[in-house]
Every structure is written in C-alpha cells, then in structure tokens.
Amino acid sequence: MTDDGPHDRVALVTGASRGLGAVLAQFLARQGYSVIVNARNREALSTATAEIAESGGFVFPVPGDVSDPETQDALAKAVSRWGHLELLINNASELGPSPLPELSALAPADLERILRVNVLAPLTLTQRLLPALRKGRGRIVNISSDAAVGGYPGWGGYGASKAALDLLSLTMAHELTGSPISVVSVDPGDMRTEMHQAAYPGQDISDRPLPEITLPFWAWLLNQDPAQLSGHRFRAQSDRWEVPEP
C-alpha cells in the first residue's frame, strides 16, 4: 500500500467497479497513484477495491450514484484529504434501456437519466473539483464513445449524451487555456463489457477485446505533456496516437 501523504499523485475514477473503470483504477494504482474509486454497485466496488489493495495499491472507495449531489459531496471530501487531484477520469456512464430503443420510442425519463449521468454529472463533479485540480495541475479525461459521431440506430440517446460531453470537454479546454488544467475526451472503442453486452442482449460479443486492450494508450497519454493534448479527442484503439501540432 502506498503512502497517502501530501506528495502522492491522486486520481479519481468514476464507474470503477467493473469494465474499463476497474482496469484503469488498477493500472493507475500500479503507476503509484492513490486512487479514489466510485460506482453505484457497492458489492462490485468492494470487490474491485479489494483487488487493488491486495496488489499493494492505495485505494479509497466512495460508493454511490455519481449524479447524486450527496455522492459528489463524498467524492469532494475524499479528494480533500490530499487537497490536490492530478487526474479525474469521468468514466461512469448510463446506457439507457436494453434493448436499445429507437429515438421515436425513447421515453423522456430515460433520456433525462442518460443526460444526467453522462453529461451533467461529469460537469458538476468537475466544477466541484476544480480547486484541487488546479493545485494538482490536473488532467480531466472524459470517456466518450464512437456513438457520439456514428448515428447508429438505437444509440441516439447515449450517442447524443457523449456528443454533448465531447463538446463540453472541448469548450472547457478552451476556457482553461493558460491554467494548469488540461481536458481531453477519449473514445475507448468497442470492448467486451457488461454495458456493451446490455446493448446487444442475447448476442455473442466474445469477438470484442477486453478493456485491457486500451492500456498502451493510457500509458502513452500519461507520458505526454498535458498542455499539448488539451482540447483533443483520442481513440484508444487506434494504431497510433500523435501529439497534435500546436
């Protein structure tokens, strides 16, 4: 277990109980980060937390729905134990009903839930944590999707939320120009996860790669100058990644 003293790098990962979020939390702990993890499913989060702790990483779980103000209060309190935050990964996502309905059949309440988790929660959590991110010269990473640009039938609600998150990421990056905070959005690509399975109920998705396929990208990202990357959107499963021209 790492020392959680004032000089540690601190990361917060939402939606960290399974899938990409759990893989990222484990990866960051191995890189020496003190990792705050959040998810709605307490049991799954407890399991993910135990796996990180058993491998020697420092992990601090905060269960709850990230769109709930009380959960955001608890996350802000967790960050305050260090007073700084080097990395915020807004990964928690709401798919919506399964099977995925076409937009003509998408209930307003379901769309509101999707937007609340996928757009409002990342924005309001980021707002709460900006002081700690400034102190930590922090990176904000918003997890997007190819559905944000694909226009795939059935993915309208989810895709619209991720397109909105992409625009929030770009706009915030512009607004924070000159500050020590950087913002990027990342499309992790198709992966073999519970959420992806829920999007295709009854179908075999075993041909999709596991979330670990994205680890080379994350290793690359964390070794780049964040100021040069801010405002850009990356595809984690691309053959190569490049630092954009200034």
Judge contact between 154 and 197, C-beta under 8 A: no
Convert the pLDDT of each residue in 60-95 to its tens digit: 999 999 999 999 999 999 999 999 999 999 999 999
d(CA 197, CA 109): 22
pLDDT category at 244 given cuts 50, 70, 90 is: confident
Kindly tell me if the per-residue pLDDT of 170 is higher than 50: yes
Q: Calculate what percentage of the chain has a pLDDT beyond 90.
A: 89
Residue 148 gets the label, from left (phi > 0), alpha (psi -120 to 50) or beta, of: alpha
Other CB atoms closer than 10 Å to residue 229's CB: what's the count? 19
Convert the pLDDT of each residue in 96-124 to its tens digit: 999 999 999 999 999 999 999 999 999 99
pLDDT category at 2 given cuts 50, 70, 90 is: very low
The model's pTM = 0.95
For the chain, the domains span 9-235
End-to-end CA distance of the chain: 40
List Cα–Cα distances, 54 to 19, 23, 30, 44, 245, in angstroms.
19, 15, 11, 15, 42
Convert the pLDDT of each residue in 24-68 to its tens digit: 999 999 999 999 999 999 999 999 999 999 989 999 999 999 999
**Concatenated DSSP letters for the chain?**
----STTSEEEEEES-SSHHHHHHHHHHHHTTEEEEEEES-HHHHHHHHHHHHHTT--EEEEES-TTSHHHHHHHHHHHHTTS--SEEEE------SSSPPPGGG--HHHHHHHHIIIIIHHHHHHHHHHHHHHHTT-EEEEE--THHHH--TT-HHHHHHHHHHHHHHHHHHHHTTTSS-EEEEEE------HHHHHHSTTS--TTSPPGGGGHHHHHHHTTS-HHHHTT-EEETTSS---PPP-
pLDDT category at 234 given cuts 50, 70, 90 is: very high
Greater model confidence, 171 or 3:
171
Q: Residue 245: its pLDDT value, please?
A: 77
The answer for residues whose C-beta is within 8 angstroms of residue 206's C-beta and 6 or more apart is 192
Q: Residue 6: its pLDDT value, please?
A: 41
d(CA 211, CA 126): 24
Kindly tell me if the per-residue pLDDT of 3 is higher than 60: no
Kindly tell me if the per-residue pLDDT of 240 is higher than 60: yes
The answer for residues whose C-beta is within 8 angstroms of residue 51's C-beta and 6 or more apart is 22, 26
Tell me the fold of 9-235.
Rossmann fold (3.40.50)
d(CA 54, CA 75): 23
Q: Is 33 a catalytic residue?
A: no
pLDDT category at 139 given cuts 50, 70, 90 is: very high
d(CA 96, CA 39): 17
Catalytic entry in 33, 152, 158, 200: 158
